Amino acid sequence: MSNGDTQPLLACRNVFKYFGGLAAVNDLDLDVYPGDVVGIGGPNGAGKTTFLDVISGINPATSGSIKLNGTAIANKKPDAICHLGISRTFQLNAGFESMSIRENTLVGASFGLGDKGWFPRMTYTREMRERVERALVLCDLQDKADLIVRDLPVLDRKLLMMAGALATEPKLLLIDEPVGGLNPHEVDDVMEIVRGLIKEGVTIILIEHVMRFLLQLSERVVIMHHGEKIYEGDSKGLLNDRKVVEVYLGEGTADRLQHMMDERAQNG
């Protein structure tokens, strides 16, 4: 996180999203700088996914300012926001079932940063194919690229969504619950892949309920509750924040996470 003169890559100010009388996102501010990894946690219904929907244009903000590199995006459509450099994954695994991993990822490359005219591209350029191959390597799917999606396990389907998003070469990647439903070994596999993205300099906002995943990857953590931001800071401060412990973690989970973080610090 930058506190100097660097302009935020993403700047959210006083963002509200109402559904009727319910404020699903309530007066939320957030700055994300190039290279940041920001983790968002909180109880079910806290407004986490809705906030990503607002940023990516799926559910536009009711009010407030959202800027990407200084350009206002709050009223733009999802495809326009993607063309400007924001890509995302979703909680539910999505893919064209009869197509291969590589073919699915090519769709992301083509429609994410392809021609912006009225008609879809009928062929894939060499540059698109190169982006796809890079994305497959980053997601450890290069040896499975010809497998058909309907035959894939849950882990590979999640990685496929990530590869499709990365194939657009986004300035900001939004990842929504990438390890939900996975076993501990698979969680570790995804963690290593996200660490690789971080080393590549990808700027990330991620949502996750698996707190060891969230805390070990995020430089900065945001906790939401009833649409509001109740905490923003590092992992150490999070585990000592009484409100976060009371409304979300609980004493037992906080103690276990603290023990995990202490062990990690001792082991370097």
247 pLDDT tier (thresholds 50, 70, 90): confident
Higher confidence at residue 229 or residue 3? 229
Work out the percent of the chain whose per-residue pLDDT is above 70: 94
Its pTM stands at 0.91
Question: In Å, how far from its chain's centre is CA 212?
Answer: 16
**Measured CA distances, 37 to 76, 148, 220 (Å):** 24, 32, 7
Across the chain, mean pLDDT equals 91
Q: What is the pLDDT of residue 116?
A: 53
Q: Read off the tokens for 224.
A: 């939401």
